[in-house]
Amino acid sequence: MFARYSDVAIYLIKPGIVKDNTRLISATQISELFVLQGAQFCRNIQFISAGNWDRLPIIRFVTCRGTIVLQEKTTHRLLFFCLVLFLIPSDVFCDQPTKIELPNFDQATSSTTPPNILLVFLDDFGWKDTSYMGSDFYETPQLDKLANDGMVFTNAYSCSANCAPARASLLSGQYTPRHQIYNVGTTPRGKAEHRRLEHIPGVKTLDPKIKTWAHQLQSAGYTTATMGKWHLSDDPIPYGFDLNVGGTHSGGPPKGYYPPHGKAPNLENAPQGEYVTDRLSDEACKFITANQENPWMLYLTHFAVHTPIQAKKELVGKYEAKKPGELHDNVKMATMIQAVDDGVGKIVTTLEKLGIRENTVIMFFSDNGGYGPATDMDPLKGYKGTYYEGGIRVPFFVNWPGVVKPSKTIEPIIGVDIYPTLCEISGAKLPNNQIGDGLSLVSLFKGKRANLNLNGEPRALHWHFPAYLQSYRGVHDEQRDPLFRSRPCSAIRKGNWKLIQYFESGDIELFDLKNDLGEKKNVAQSNPATVDRLMNEMKIWQSQTDAAIPSAPNPKFDEAKEKAAIRQRNQAADKQ
Ligand SMILES: [Ca+2]
């Protein structure tokens, strides 16, 4: 981009036109650009079109002297986008008109020595499941050390409360309505007679036309590998990976953590007694050693700690002898977590031996909250499958020697942020003509920004789940009703407020996370203006993302049976 003006205050940019006629960056990135670059002359910019440029560009700039609204008329789309620069006389703006050179995203993301990147991505790993986050039973000294030397995010979110949609969002950088993987599989979950609406099935394979960050890093010269759970198609290789160890469409290895692993690629001949978590850590060390001379990206997507909750046998005695914690006490889970942590230690040792630790960024993340029957996210409410915090708030840290200082942040971030973050770290380009919903976290990592606020106010995070997730057997005390962990809903978090909209009933829940982290009190009734504001923003987002909202009544629904089942479950719980 080349704009440089002394008396122009707003730039309306269709990047493909501005730069090379092919590149399309997301509206949120443009919004960020405005805030970063435009804050010098526009104190308060509201960029409403945070979605699909091709559908609904409604852009409102609130300057210090008034509001300017630009709305595209569909028939004039081309003309609208040809208005690359919307020139406004500088006297509508305050302060001194400033000479500004807008950054070239390509240049801004270039790096002379691209770092290696390791993303340790765990399955169903809860917010409190490490020692550094407060587990009183599990032991994670290796992860703790990396976290303590890095930046810990205590308000990090997955885009979904269960596996496949969370992973689709991670790989695509898009919220669920765009890739339409809403659930694990497309068939309805839970009993038909208890579901009031027909669910939105969505799809179960990530559209191969979507460019993943792995594609982008590959194009930038990185060697890429995925090891462990893939879950988004039969084969991850076409999605930008040079090497696949163990990844299939399945949510786990077919027989659990010990072999045989069926046809899982590169795990076919696993020796008897080999714990798969250890094997993946060893494969990681092998890959890193083989590629030590070139930049590499390793997506270490462990099967751990997804069901089956299956212990690493050698570690059982240690945890059986350990005094159970008040929060955590599951011996098998503790061994599964230690296996991950020991592997992280091995990988770090390998990096150090090869002399590349200093040029390796390590990130740690999880796809959704912990598995309710085996672990606990207290004080968060809920667990995997719920859209309360325990289902979607997960651990995240970044360790980047020489760049990231040891620190902790409460800044809310979400899975779609990883895509632009990986591209900026590596110097890879963002894909042409593909919407991205996230923001790069690199400026936060480097301490150049305190937060990711847009327009001077917190950006909104979104979730959309138009399906059902049935209850776990015997565990339903931290969900809205005993039959389902989640019924169809959308959720939004903005600042300290979180709102959940339920499509079956129209019910709204509003929580003040600052004063009620455990989401104990629905304060929607006493905060009507906040409900209106968040609902309005959510509806705009649903419209921009074409979010499918279930509305068709389910003909098999039987209210009497639903009530009886709820009563029965509650009575059974009371007896326990
Ligand atoms: Ca999961």
Supply φ then ψ for residue 82, to 5 degrees.
-75, -15
d(CA 475, CA 565): 15
Rounded distance from Cα 329 to ligand 1 centre (Å): 21
Rounded distance from Cα 258 to ligand 1 centre (Å): 19
**pLDDT (tens digit per residue) in 345-375:** 999 999 999 999 999 999 999 999 999 999 9
pLDDT at 28 over 50: no
- What is the 3 state secondary structure string of 15-60? HHHHCCCCCCCCHHHHHHHHHHHHCCCCCCCCCCCCCCCCCCCEEE
Rounded distance from Cα 377 to ligand 1 centre (Å): 15
Rounded distance from Cα 384 to ligand 1 centre (Å): 7
Confidence grade of residue 453 (pLDDT, cut at 50, 70, 90): very high
Rounded distance from Cα 425 to ligand 1 centre (Å): 26
Rounded distance from Cα 169 to ligand 1 centre (Å): 13
Q: Is the pTM of this model over 0.85?
A: no
Rounded distance from Cα 163 to ligand 1 centre (Å): 4
Rounded distance from Cα 120 to ligand 1 centre (Å): 14
Rounded distance from Cα 439 to ligand 1 centre (Å): 23
Per-residue pLDDT, 455? 84
- CA neighbours within 13 Å on the CB side: how many for 346? 19
Rounded distance from Cα 367 to ligand 1 centre (Å): 5
Rounded distance from Cα 33 to ligand 1 centre (Å): 33
Rounded distance from Cα 372 to ligand 1 centre (Å): 12
pLDDT at 528 over 90: yes
Rounded percentage of the chain residues whose pLDDT exceeds 70? 80
**pLDDT (tens digit per residue) in 70-111:** 433 333 343 333 232 333 333 333 333 333 333 343 333 444
Rounded distance from Cα 444 to ligand 1 centre (Å): 27
Rounded distance from Cα 363 to ligand 1 centre (Å): 17
Rounded distance from Cα 123 to ligand 1 centre (Å): 4
Average pLDDT value for residue range 212-216: 98
Rounded distance from Cα 330 to ligand 1 centre (Å): 18
Supply φ then ψ for residue 17, to 5 degrees.
-80, -40
Per-residue pLDDT, 241? 98
Per-residue pLDDT, 112? 62
Q: Which of 15-19, 121-125, 297-301 is the least confident region?
A: 15-19
Average pLDDT value for residue range 323-345: 98
Q: Three-state DSSP class for 94?
A: coil
Average pLDDT of the chain is: 84
Rounded distance from Cα 102 to ligand 1 centre (Å): 40
Rounded distance from Cα 369 to ligand 1 centre (Å): 7
DSSP code string of 219-261: HTT-EEEEEE---SSS-SGGGT-SEEES--SSSS-TT-SSS--
Rounded distance from Cα 161 to ligand 1 centre (Å): 8
d(CA 546, CA 382): 28
Confidence grade of residue 148 (pLDDT, cut at 50, 70, 90): very high
Q: How many CB atoms lie within 10 A of CB 398?
A: 24
* Highest-confidence segment of 12-26, 46-60, 83-97, 204-218: 204-218
Confidence grade of residue 155 (pLDDT, cut at 50, 70, 90): very high
Average pLDDT value for residue range 539-547: 97
Rounded distance from Cα 386 to ligand 1 centre (Å): 12
pLDDT at 207 over 70: yes
Q: Cα 186 from chain centroid? A: 21
Among 33, 37, 59, 30, smallest CA distance to 46 is for 59
Residue 30: left if φ>0, alpha if ψ -120 to 50, beta else—which one? alpha
What are the residues facing 67 on neighbouring strands?
62
Rounded distance from Cα 157 to ligand 1 centre (Å): 13
Residue 433: left if φ>0, alpha if ψ -120 to 50, beta else—which one? left
Q: Quick check: 362 and 146 in contact, CB under 8 A? A: yes
Rounded distance from Cα 232 to ligand 1 centre (Å): 12
Average pLDDT value for residue range 23-38: 40
Rounded distance from Cα 122 to ligand 1 centre (Å): 8
Residue 77 CB-density burial (10 A; 0-12 exposed, 13-18 middle, 19+ buried) = middle
**pLDDT (tens digit per residue) in 247-259:** 999 998 888 999 9
**pLDDT (tens digit per residue) in 4-13:** 222 223 333 3
Q: Which of 54-63, 78-87, 509-518 is the least confident region?
A: 78-87
Q: Which of 219-233, 369-383, 472-486 is the least confident region?
A: 472-486
Average pLDDT value for residue range 221-242: 98
Rounded distance from Cα 336 to ligand 1 centre (Å): 15
Confidence grade of residue 67 (pLDDT, cut at 50, 70, 90): very low
pLDDT at 173 over 60: yes
Among 332, 158, 132, 299, smallest CA distance to 230 is for 299
Element (H, E) at 4: strand 4-5
Per-residue pLDDT, 78? 33
pLDDT at 431 over 70: yes
Strands 484-486 and 508-512: unpaired
Rounded distance from Cα 128 to ligand 1 centre (Å): 15
Eight-class DSSP state of 359? G
Rounded distance from Cα 129 to ligand 1 centre (Å): 14
Rounded distance from Cα 283 to ligand 1 centre (Å): 22
Rounded distance from Cα 23 to ligand 1 centre (Å): 33
